């Protein structure tokens, strides 16, 4: 029998083990799922500050004359609308409009960009971009191994990060970034995150990452901060209705169906997938993602079938994500349904272990008190 490939490790792996994290296989990476417990870590982020290792994410550098035009063609959003020092949420699509990945594009200069991609998609995204590179002018470099990424999230995040950076971050706006030093290491300090709270994502050199993590853990104690695992990251993002690639969208779902219409800019001109998406928009969508809240006492899980509440209930779609929201004390999730059941208030059923449990469609986010944009 062929031996299973060893799990990949981030530069912070030994730190997690030293601090007693519970480690799991996350898409081929050895990652911490929790430290003190998912609910405790979740509430820490909502009220104080939490630290996450997201170094498994990929970093692709796109530069050179023509880089702007290249990304304008490859992504759904309008790259020309972001200034140097600004970030933009976007997506990569196939010709049929289905989602290869959701990404964040950071403009470092006129023709210099950092594209942050999902960990499991790094190789796929690089290959897709490389296959469409112009014959000259644009340089694509995979710098994922050179960077560790630490997310500092929560109302106290600004105070904590300011302790270890050499620039004043008090005026750094949501979805903007600055290049400075973190404990003397040249880094990118981005006002971005995946929790709905005030937060920063620090792109730091891999070699110095463990020292930076340890400093954040120590300095964070006076702010009530704690290291957190991927379990809390998932419940935090779900309360905000943020999509998770592989759960809420994939290459079988188009950008409009999964709610990415707001970052799909037809007005910018043609891009990969634009023709198919425009045709789908004109014809009308056959399914779309919605927020759901359980009425019966039950938790909707990924893959559960969704039915209409009418007698004999027709199958409408499936649940993509679901959890108990620790901040809202409600069982919530997301699901694909037919458009006639997509309006808030629509009554539906979720089939759980052979029984149909009552739920209703609700607007996202489920948690409305986040500090992300303060």
pLDDT tens digit sequence for 273-323: 999 999 999 999 999 999 999 999 999 999 999 999 987 899 999 999 999
- Provide the pLDDT confidence category of residue 5 given band limits of 50, 70 and 90: confident
- CATH superfamily, region 284-362: Aminomethyltransferase beta-barrel domains (2.40.30.110)
Residue 8, C-beta contacts closer than 8 angstroms, at least 6 positions apart: 28, 29, 30, 56
> Cα–Cα distance between 192 and 173 in angstroms, integer?
9
Residue 241's φ and ψ, nearest 5 degrees, are 75, 20
Q: Give me the mean pLDDT over the 6-22 stretch.
A: 97
Tell me what the mean pLDDT of segment 174-192 comes to. Answer: 98
Mean pLDDT of 242-249: 98
Name the pTM for this structure: 0.97
| 328 φ, ψ (degrees, to nearest 5) | -120, -10
Query: What is the tens place of the pLDDT at every residue in 32-66?
Result: 999 999 999 999 999 999 999 999 999 999 999 99
Q: Residue 293 and residue 333: Cα distance in Å, rounded?
A: 6
Residues 83, 176: Cα–Cα separation, whole Å = 9
Of the candidates 261, 236, 250, the one whose C-alpha atom is nearest the C-alpha of residue 366 is: 236
Q: What is the DSSP string of 29-78?
A: EEEEEESS-HHHHHHHHHHS-EEEE-TTSEEEEEESTTHHHHHHHHBSS-
In this predicted structure, what is the pLDDT of residue 312? Answer: 83
pLDDT at 3: 44
Integer Cα distance of 362 and 208 in angstroms: 44
Of 238, 262, 237, 273, the closest CA to residue 99 belongs to 273
State the average pLDDT over residues 118-145. 97
**What does the alpha-carbon distance between residue 32 and residue 23 come to, in Å, rounded to a whole number?**
4
62-101: b (≥16 Cβ within 10 Å) or e = bbbebbbebbbbbbbbbbeebeebebbebbbbeeebbbbb
Structure tokens at 336: 């694909």
pLDDT at 282: 98
E-only strand ranges, the chain: 22-26, 29-34, 50-53, 58-63, 87-93, 99-109, 112-117, 139-142, 147-153, 177-182, 185-190, 199-205, 226-227, 288-294, 305-308, 315-325, 330-337, 347-352, 355-362
Q: Where are the domains of the chain?
A: 1-255+270-277, 284-362
> What is the DSSP track for 306-349?
EEESSTT--EEEEEEEEEEETTTTEEEEEEEE-GGG-STT-EEE
> In this structure, what token pair is assigned to residue 232?
């809390």
Cβ partners under 8 Å of residue 336, min gap 6: 253, 257, 287, 288, 289, 290, 306, 316, 317, 318, 320
Q: How confident is the model at residue 1 (pLDDT cuts 50, 70, 90)?
A: very low
Could you count the other beta carbons within 10 Å of the beta carbon of residue 240? 21
Contact 60, 117 (CB under 8 A): yes
Give the position of tokens 């030994």.
14
What's the whole-number mean pLDDT along residues 345-357? 97
CATH number of 1-255+270-277: 3.30.1360.120
**What is the residue-averaged pLDDT of the chain?**
97
Q: Interior CA angle at 302 toward 297 and 306, to 5°?
A: 65
- CB–CB of 371/198 below 8 Å? yes
pLDDT of residue 2: 43
The reply to whether 1-255+270-277 and 284-362 are identical in fold is no
Backbone phi, then psi, for 98, in 5-degree steps? Answer: -80, 155
Non-local CB neighbours of 212 within 8 Å, separated by 6+ positions: 148, 150, 164, 182, 183, 185, 202, 204
Which pLDDT tens digit goes with each residue over 201-228?
A: 999 999 999 999 999 999 999 999 999 9
What percentage of the chain reaches a pLDDT higher than 70? 99
Determine the Cα–Cα distance for residues 261 and 92; give it in Å rounded to an integer.
Answer: 13
Q: How much is the average pLDDT of 130-150?
A: 98
C-beta atoms surrounding 184 within 10 Å? 11
């Amino acid at each position: 029998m062929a031996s299973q490939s060893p799990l990949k490790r981030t530069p912070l792996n030994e730190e997690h083990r030293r601090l007693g994290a519970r480690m799991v296989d996350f898409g081929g990476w050895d990652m911490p799922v929790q430290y003190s417990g998912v609910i405790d870590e979740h509430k820490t982020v909502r009220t104080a500050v939490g630290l996450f290792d997201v170094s498994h994410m990929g970093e692709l550098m796109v530069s050179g004359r023509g880089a702007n035009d290249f990304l304008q063609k490859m992504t759904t959003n309008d790259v020309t609308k972001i200034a140097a020092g600004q970030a933009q949420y976007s997506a990569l699509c196939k010709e049929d409009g289905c989602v290869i990945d959701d990404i964040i594009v950071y403009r470092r200069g006129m023709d210099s960009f950092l594209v942050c991609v999902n960990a499991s998609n790094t190789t796929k995204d690089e290959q897709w971009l490389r296959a469409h590179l112009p014959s000259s002018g644009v340089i694509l470099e995979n710098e994922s191994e050179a960077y560790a990424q630490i997310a500092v999230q929560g109302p106290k995040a600004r105070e904590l990060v300011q302790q270890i950076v050499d620039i004043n971050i008090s005026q750094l706006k949501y979805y903007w970034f600055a290049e400075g030093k973190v404990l003397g290491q040249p880094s990118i300090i981005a006002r971005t995150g995946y929790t709905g709270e005030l937060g920063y994502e620090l792109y730091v050199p891999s070699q110095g990452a463990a020292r930076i993590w340890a400093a954040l853990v120590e300095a964070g104690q006076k702010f009530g901060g704690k290291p957190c695992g991927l379990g809390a990251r998932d419940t935090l993002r779900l309360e905000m209705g943020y999509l998770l690639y592989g759960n809420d969208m994939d290459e079988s779902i188009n950008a409009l169906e999964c709610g990415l219409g707001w970052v799909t800019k037809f007005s910018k001109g043609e891009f990969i997938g634009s023709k198919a998406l425009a045709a789908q928009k004109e014809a009308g969508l056959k399914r779309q993602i919605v927020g759901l809240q359980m009425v019966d006492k039950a938790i909707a899980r990924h893959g559960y079938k969704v039915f209409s509440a009418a007698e004999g209930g027709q199958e409408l779609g499936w649940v993509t994500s679901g959890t108990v929201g620790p901040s809202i004390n409600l069982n919530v999730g997301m699901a694909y349904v037919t458009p006639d059941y997509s309006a808030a208030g629509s009554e539906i059923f979720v089939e759980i272990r052979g029984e149909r449990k009552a739920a209703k469609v609700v607007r996202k986010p489920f948690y409305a008190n986040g500090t992300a944009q303060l």
